[in-house]
């Protein structure tokens, strides 16, 4: 069976020496295990973006640094950092193309946030600061010891909404997830529904009803084992395979 190509726009690390493009291996490995073939691309202009889509089956937007708050009409309050407007431009354009052309789309962490911004939503620039009653979602470091936490460390449960794509994939109404973000969805974008919530009420998953596959999750399923995480990638790659025919 043919492995569908999954387009992954590469993040840039311009502060590195030398400047570098790259993603975590776990992103690519999750796609490969699900039966897809990652196709990593760098910063195409709009014309190249359109010319690439006929050759791929789906778009995978990975995690990373903050989206420029100007894209959702807010002044940077000092919490939005490491801005890469060129990455923002490419990913927001890809999302809008995917929605318009009904193209399979998966967003993880920043990728989910980009989906929301592309469709007119806004973000908390820092959840812990701006959202009343928020729990700590930025679990990169153990606050007591100062040591790095494993990216697969479980942080909290999410409650999944009935009759959503995510509910069908998870097969249950609650799953435990990791948490590696400090921003999150504040107002929901057009065409989107919230399909999971954290204990503090923060939106943890979004999707577009009646789309072949358009799902964003705030956690990192590529770092987790077990059926819920595996089924997210399996369903995405399966939709990409159908799109490739």
Check 204, 218, 222, 223 and give the catalytic one.
222
- Is-catalytic flag, 191? no
- Report whether 242 contacts 212 (CB < 8 A): yes
Phi, psi at 204, each rounded to 5°: -110, -10
Output the CA–CA distances (angstroms, integers) from residue 85 to 11, 110, 196, in the order listed.
11, 14, 28
Annotated active-site residue in 156, 181, 182, 220: 220
Q: How many residues does the chain have?
A: 245
Structure tokens at 55: 């050759």
Nearest CA to 70 out of 102, 32, 116, 117 is that of 117
Q: Which of 91, 109, 207, 218 is catalytic?
A: 109
Token representation of residue 94:
């890809």
Contact 114, 107 (CB under 8 A): yes
- 214 three-state secondary structure: strand
Token readout for 164 is 């959503």
Sign of the CA dihedral with 56 first, then 233, 211, and 201 last: negative
C-alpha 17/C-alpha 5 separation (Å) is 30
- Report, in this order, helix, strand and coil percent for the chain, each rounded to 5: 30, 25, 45
Residue 3 near residue 240, CB atoms below 8 Å: no
Catalytic residue list contains 220: yes
Q: Give catalytic residue positions.
A: 109, 220, 222
């Amino acid at each position: 069976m043919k492995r569908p190509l999954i387009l992954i726009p590469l993040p840039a690390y311009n502060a590195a020496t030398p400047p570098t493009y790259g993603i975590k291996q776990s992103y690519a490995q999750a796609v490969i295990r699900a039966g897809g073939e990652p196709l990593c691309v760098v910063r195409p202009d709009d014309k190249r973006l359109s010319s690439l889509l006929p050759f791929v089956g789906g778009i995978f937007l990975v995690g990373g640094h903050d989206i420029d708050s100007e894209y959702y009409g807010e002044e940077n309050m000092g919490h939005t950092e490491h801005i890469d407007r060129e990455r923002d431009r490419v990913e927001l354009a890809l999302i809008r193309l995917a929605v318009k052309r009904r193209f399979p789309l998966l967003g993880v962490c920043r990728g989910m946030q980009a989906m929301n911004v592309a469709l007119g939503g806004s973000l908390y620039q820092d959840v812990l600061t701006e959202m009343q009653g928020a729990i700590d979602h930025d679990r990169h470091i153990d606050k007591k010891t100062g040591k790095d936490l494993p990216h697969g460390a479980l942080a909290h449960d999410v409650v999944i909404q009935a009759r959503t794509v995510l509910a069908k994939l998870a097969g249950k109404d609650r799953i435990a997830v990791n948490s590696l973000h400090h921003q999150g969805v504040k107002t929901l974008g057009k065409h989107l529904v919230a399909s999971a919530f954290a204990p503090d009420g923060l939106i943890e998953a979004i999707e577009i009803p009646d789309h072949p596959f358009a799902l964003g999750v705030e956690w990192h399923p590529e770092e987790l084992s077990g059926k819920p995480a595996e089924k997210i990638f399996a369903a995405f790659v399966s939709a990409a395979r159908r799109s490739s025919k």
